[in-house]
Structure 1
Amino acid sequence: MSIPQSGGGPIESFAQLADYMASGSKPKDQWRIGTEHEKFGWLTDTRAPLPYAGARSISVLFDELAKRYGWEPVREGENVIGMTRNGANISLEPGGQFELSGAPLVSIHDIEAETREHLDEVKAIADPLGIKFMGIGAAPVWSHAEMPVMPKGRYRLMTDYMGRVGTHGTQMMYRTSTVQVNLDYASEADMVKKLRVALALQPVATALFASSPFFDGKVNGHKSWRSRIWRGLDDSRTGMLPFAFEDGMGFQRYIDWVLDVPMYFVYRDGKYINALGQSFRDFLAGKLPALPGEKPTLSDFADHMTTVFPEARVKKYIEMRGADCGDFAHVVGLPAFWVGLMYDQGALDAAWDLVKGLDTETREGLRVAASVSGLQGEAGGVKLLDLARASVALSQAGLAARGLGEERHLAPLVEHVATGEVQADRWLKLYYGAWGGDLTPIYEASSF
C-alpha cells in the first residue's frame, strides 16, 4: 500500500483537485512503466510467515539491503517500514507482504531487469537465513491469527475500520498479494479511454493471472480468492466504477467520487490521525471532526486518493489492480499485457471497440466469473476465454508496434489462452494429483 504523499500545498480552490490530476498528463515520449509486486516471506524450517523482528525477519532483510546494496531506510517512528533507491521503493503490506514498487522505466525489458535484480538481492540475503518468498495471490494455509502485524499507523486504523465494513477487508490486508502496473496518460480524454478499457478488461487480467485457489488450508471454490475478497471489502471504495462509462466522465467526475468516499486518516508530523468514516468534503470546509478548523493540503488529498481501491485507480497515472501475484514470468507479463494495450493508439482503440458494447451488468458479471472460474467464466453471453484471446492478440500487436521486441514477455499469457488454463488450474491439478490433497508442497512450488 501507499506511503504518505508529499509536495502539495494548501487547497485554496475546488478546481485545484482536478488540476492535480491533470498535472499528471504527459506527452507520449515521456510515458513510463511502474510495476509493483507483493510476495509472502516464509521460514523454510517451520513454514511460518516471516515476522517483522527477530533473527530471521523483515528487519534483518532491511538492514542487509541497506548495507550490501545501498537502499535507504524509510522510518515511521523508530521502525524501518520501507526502503528507497534510485526511484524505486520497497514497502510492507499489513501482513508483511514484501513489496517492490519499481522506478518509472521505459520498457518491459527494463522491468524484467529491475525485478530480477530485486529478487536476486533479496535471495542472496534470505537464503542463508532459511527465508523464501511465495509469488501467489493469497496465503494458501496461514490463518489470520498467524499473520504478523507491521508497525504502521495507517494499518492499525484500517484494520479497525475493515472489521466494521464489508466482510473480507482484513483478509485483503493481511493475506493477499498482487502485481500491478502504473501507466501514464496524455490528457483527460486519454485518461478516460484508458480507464474505461482498464476497467472493462480487468476481469480478463484477473482470469489470466488467477493463482489463489486455496485459503485457510483448503480449496476455496475460486480460481482467484483474492478477487473474491475485494468483492466483499467496502463497496464505497471498490468495484468497477460504472460512472466512468457515463457521459461527462473526466477528472472532475472522478474527483467527485473520491470526495464521497469516507476517509481513513490525516497524516501529520509522522503520525496518522484517526478520521475514520469522516468526510473529505467537510475537511475542505474546515469542519473535519478530527482536525476542527483546519483545511487540507494537496498532500492530504493525495493521501485520500490512496484509500480508494477500484479495479483500476487514477491518481496522476492509472493503476491496473486486478491481478494476483504469480511467478517471475507473470510479474513481468502483467505490465507487458497492459503496455501493449495502452501505449499504442491502434491497440487502445481496438481494445475499446472490443469492450464498448458491454453494459454495467456484464462487466460486473465478468468480474465475478473471473474470480470463480478463471478463463472458463462467462457472463452476459461473453466468454472470458474469447475476450482474453482477443485481448492478448491486441497486446501482442501493440507491443510489436513499439518495436522493442517486448512481445516475448507475453509468453505465459499466450500459453494460457491457448490451453484455457492458468496458474490456479495448475495448482489444483497438482493438489488433486501428485500432492494427494496435501498443501505442504505449495510453499516451495510457488516460491521465486
Structure 2
Amino acid sequence: MRTVSVVIGTRPEAIKMAPVIKALQAHPDLDPVVISTGQHRQMLDETLDAFGLAADIDLQVMAPQQTLSQVTARILNGLEDRLPGLGADALLVHGDTATTLAGALAGFHHGVPVVHVEAGLRSGELSSPFPEEGNRRLVGQVSALHLAPTPANRTNLLCEGIPDETIVVTGNTVIDALRWAGDHATEYGHPALRDLDDDPRRVVLASAHRRDAWPQLADIAAAFRRIADEPGTRVVIPLHRNPAVRRAILPVVAGHPDITVTDPLPYLSFMKLLKRADLIVSDSSGAQEEGPALGKPTLVLSDVTERSEAVVAGTAKLVGKTTEGIVAATLDLLRDPIAYDRMASAANPYGDGRAAQRTVDSVACFLGLGDRPEQFVPETPVDQLAAELARNADYRPHEPQPAS
C-alpha cells in the first residue's frame, strides 16, 4: 500500500480534488491522507462535507488580516510538523493557491514527489491573475508529475522545458465534480433565492473577488447594477467573504430591487444556481470551466485568461474590468438571441467526466502500480490555438476566435 498525501485549502481545491480523493480511496493499492490547511475555513469544510469527505489532518492556519506571505509561511510550518511522519510516497497539490505553492515546496523540501493536478495553465502575464499565475509557474518547477487538463496546457509545459514523459493530459476534474453535483443539488441554500424557479426574469450570475481585480471592484459592481437595470433581468451575486471585496461591492449594489446578494452558497446550492442562470459574469476560474460545461455563456472579467480554450471555442468571452465594457457585452447577449444562442451552443473543451480516474491511474503508474492511462482528447479542436494564445501576453480576445 502506497501513501498519497493530498493537500487542499480552498473551496475550489476541495471541489476539484473531491472526485480524485474518492477515486484514490477506491484504489486497492493507494491510501490517501487528506491534509486541510483551512485557507478557506468554512467554505472548505462545507464542500468536503457535501461530497461525504473529511480531512485527516487540519493545519488550521487562518488568522485575521494575514498577508499572502504569512499564510504561505504558516502552511509551510504546519506541513513541516506533519509531513515527515506520514511516509508519503507522493504529494498531490491542485492549481495555484497559497496552499498549492506551500504544499509543493514542503513536498520538495522533504523529498516527496510532487504531483501537480491542473498543471500547465498560463495567462502569459505574471501579474494576472495575481498571485495565481506566479504560484502555478513556481509549482511547475518542483513537480515530478504534471497532470494537465487540456492538450494546450501540455503544450505550455513543453514550451517551458518540462519533459513530455512527466505530463499526462487528464481533462479537468471540475467536470467530474459537476456531473456528480447535478444528481445531488436539490435547493438554492438561501432564503432570498427560494422564488428563483418561479421567477420569469433572466438570471445573471455575477461575482468578482480576485486580488488583481480589487482596484476595479467598484467599477465592476457599478456594471452589475447597470445590468440589473435591464428590464426582465435579475442579478444574483453570491458575495465572497473577503472583507475587502465586500467593502467595495456592497455599497454599490445595495438596495437595487433586481439584485439579490447572498453569502457564498454551499457547493451543491451553487451548482443548482449555475444551472438556473442564463448568463455568467465573473472572474472566477471555476465559472470559466463550469459555465461552458453547462452551456452557459460566460463573460470573464479580465483582459487575459489562463483558460483560453473556452474563449477559442466561443462559449466564453473576455470583457475586461471596466463598467462600460462589462455592461456592453452583457446587454449584447441579453438583447440579441442569436449572439446568445451562438455562445450557449459552443462546445465544452474541458473534460468528459473521467479526469479523476485518469489522475489516479497516472499516480499509480508513477508509483509503479499500473500502466499509463489513455490521455484526454477534447471533442473540439481548439487546443493548439489556445496554447498559442495563452503564451501571447499581447492577445486580447474580445471576440470569439475561430478554431484552427
Normalized against structure 2, the TM-score is what? 0.32
Structure with the greater relative contact order (CA < 8 A, sep ≥ 6): 1 or 2? Answer: 1
Q: Return the TM-score normalized by structure 1.
A: 0.30
